[in-house]
Each structure stands twice: as C-alpha cells, then as structure tokens.
C-alpha cells in the first residue's frame, strides 16, 4: 500500500514464497525487490541469490525482523544491497528504496554495527578463518565435514547429542553460515580438512 500511492513507484508483483519471487523477478526485472528472510519453500537468502541470477540489475532490500549474524552475512553474500528491520519508519523505507535505485546501501544501525565489528575482527583473523572456534568446535566441524550426523558425533566424542547441537549452532554463527552442509564445504575449501 505504501508504494502504490507513490507517484514515482509502481508495484509489479507480490510473492508469498521464494519460487514465485524468483519467477516474478525473471518476468518483470524490477528495479527493487523487498525481501523477507523467512518464507515458505526457499528462504530469503537463497531467493536473493536466485533473484540476482535471473535479474542482476534488481537491487534487493532485506526487510526482516532478524538482526543476527547468521541472517545478516549470508544475505549480503547472496547479493542483498540493503538490510533494514520491519520496525522501520515508512518514510525511511521509501528513502531506502530511492537510495537503492541509485545503488546506495542502507543498513539498520544495529546491523551496521555488526558489519563494522565483523570487518574489525576479520582484520585480525584473516589468516585463520577458524580463529574464533574453540578446540571442541573445530573437532565437531571436522566430523561434520566427514559427513557424520549429530548422533554419530555425540557417540564418537562421548558427549550428548544436545551438546553437539549447541556446538553446531555456535560454529554456524561464528562462521556466518546457514547450515551444516555449507560448514562442511567451507571446512574443505579453507584447508581444515586433508584428503586421506
């Protein structure tokens, strides 16, 4: 409704799931896509990635209630330009859209703080992408990369499956990855694993 009453804006489509959003982006090649991160089917991060593939000129603005690392950084890696929270003032949202048309990024202040903090941390940990992980978390990551399930990891390390889940959650958060498959791939790509 906010955009339909703006003289210089027109809404070309609305989607209630990721697959439909990608199809609409391919059909209409919109200037701007407002993206929620939690949707049925494809999540917002994967949808953003696919929207940028089918319509590279479209600028994606994440509009979400999530402000944690495991959502912020994957969204930017997928191609999002701006990241704002759903409590944004309507006029600020319009400003974010107008800026995005010019290719300018807008971040919610708390999101911006996380990004700056991450840049500072990266300077010190650039040589070791696993610097933030504890020895136990590295151990769990290696086992994930070898394809073991949580139950198998728990059995091997003689700890509870709940503890393993906690370690996995910490690993994903610290590495800014969405799931264990990406963690496994990351471990191999970054040289944590060596082929036997």
Dist CA 17 CA 42 (whole Å): 7
Domains of the chain are 18-122 (3.40.50.2300), 135-188 (1.10.10.10)
Identify the pLDDT of residue 48: 95
> Residue 76's CB: how many other CB atoms inside 10 A?
21
For residues 81 and 60, the answer to whether their CB atoms sit within 8 Å is: yes
Dist CA 92 CA 101 (whole Å): 14
User: What digits encode the pLDDT tens for the residues 109-165?
Assistant: 989 988 888 776 665 555 677 888 899 999 999 999 999 999 999 999 999 999 999
Q: Which residue has the tokens 């994957």?
A: 74
User: What digits encode the pLDDT tens for the residues 2-55?
Assistant: 555 455 778 888 999 999 999 999 999 999 999 999 888 889 999 999 999 999
Helix (H) or strand (E) holding 64: strand 59-64
Q: Which residue has the tokens 């804006």?
A: 9
Alpha-carbon torsion (23, 83, 121, 131), positive or negative: negative
Q: What is the pTM of this model?
A: 0.62
pLDDT of 105 over the 90 cut: yes
């Amino acid at each position: 409704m906010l955009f339909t009453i703006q003289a210089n804006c027109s809404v070309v489509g609305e989607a209630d799931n990721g697959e439909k959003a990608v199809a609409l982006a391919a059909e209409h090649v919109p200037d701007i896509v407002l993206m929620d991160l939690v949707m049925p089917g494809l999540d917002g991060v994967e949808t953003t990635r696919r929207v940028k593939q089918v319509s590279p000129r479209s600028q994606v603005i994440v509009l979400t209630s999530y402000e944690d690392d495991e959502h912020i950084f994957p969204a930017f890696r997928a191609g999002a330009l701006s990241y704002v929270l759903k409590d944004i003032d309507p006029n600020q949202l319009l400003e974010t859209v107008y800026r995005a048309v010019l290719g300018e990024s807008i971040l919610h202040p708390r999101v911006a703080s996380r990004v700056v903090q991450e840049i500072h941390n990266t300077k010190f940990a650039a040589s070791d992408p696993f610097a933030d992980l504890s020895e136990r978390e590295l151990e769990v990551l290696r086992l994930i990369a070898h394809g073991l399930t949580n139950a198998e990891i728990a059995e091997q390390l003689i700890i509870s499956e709940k503890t393993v889940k906690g370690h996995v959650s910490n690993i994903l958060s610290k590495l800014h990855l969405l799931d264990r498959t990406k963690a496994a791939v990351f471990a191999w790509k970054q040289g944590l694993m060596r082929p036997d």
